[in-house]
Amino acid sequence: MSGRRLNAPLLIGGALVLLVVAMALISYVWTPYEFKYLPVPKEQTPNAQHWLGTDRSSRDVLTQILLGARTTLFVGLVAVAVAAVIGVPIGILAAMSPRGFGQLIMRGNDILLAFPALLLAIMFSALYGGGTFVAMVAIGIATIPAFARIVRSGALQVVNTEYVAAARVAGRGPFAIAWQHVLPNVIGLVIVQASVSFAIAILAEAALSYLGLGTPTGEPSWGRMLLESQNVLHRAPHLAIIPGAAIALAVLGFNLFGDGLRDYLDPKLEGR
């Protein structure tokens, strides 16, 4: 792997992801202002005191962007963790089970796959009330099928190898084979899928917050900023452009990073 070159999507995506992470980390030690109403004119355009302007509630936009990066990363991390912790074992189980039982597991997985992440999150919000935690869990559950499918595909190749057959002859149980042989060989696929699912989670949370079903009022969120800016688009379009650009760059970054990482880790794609 040392002879491979880092490709452009991996480098560009990694830079964008690092930018989002840096904004979230910076917000823990510094923000231009507190996240509260300021005794300044509302809907200011970018200026020396407020680099990205102020919103309709006289809050500093740059402060909200920095704090919103926390929410974005937190939602993505929790949603991806939920999907991976459940989806990866399901995929390995489907690959190592008898053909009929494995197919049954995947058909149930396909039923869940039919529900888009945003639709499932809306259903959960309607049942349990809107909120960041509900959105995270719903997005995570909706992403489980993607992890299960890709892990099963990789695990099927592993379980048919000679060293797995040798492990069975040596008396190793299914759990030991899954833990010591299958999981290490599909972890690359899991990392790539996690990056792509991270982008899906960011977009779904922003959409839910825009619909008023995600992050509640009074908490920083890029989607919430879009919601609050829609009534002033004609006189302060920057209030929608700035958070919209932040969401677009974050989603683009994680998608590019996932694609680039897939190309880097897959020997078959090397040189194409």
Residue 143 · residue 197 · CB < 8 Å: yes
CA–CA distance, 175 with 43 (Å, rounded to integer)? 59
> Sign of torsion, CA 40 44 48 52?
positive
CA–CA distance, 150 with 188 (Å, rounded to integer)? 11
> pLDDT value at position 267?
55
Residue 208 · residue 121 · CB < 8 Å: yes
pLDDT in tens, 41-81: 899 999 999 999 999 889 999 999 999 999 999 999 999 99
> pLDDT value at position 153?
93
Is residue 270's pLDDT more than 70? no
Is residue 2's pLDDT more than 60? no
Q: Model's pTM, two decimal places?
A: 0.89
Strand spans (E) along 175-254: none
Count other Cβ atoms within 10 Å, centred on residue 160. 10
pLDDT, average across residues 258-267: 83
Count other Cβ atoms within 10 Å, centred on residue 265. 17
pLDDT in tens, 237-256: 999 999 999 999 999 999 99
Unique residue bearing structure tokens 């040392």: 2
Give the list of residues 6+ apart from residue 114 with CB closer than 8 angstroms, or none: none
> pLDDT value at position 61?
96
> pLDDT value at position 247?
97
Is residue 227's pLDDT more than 70? yes
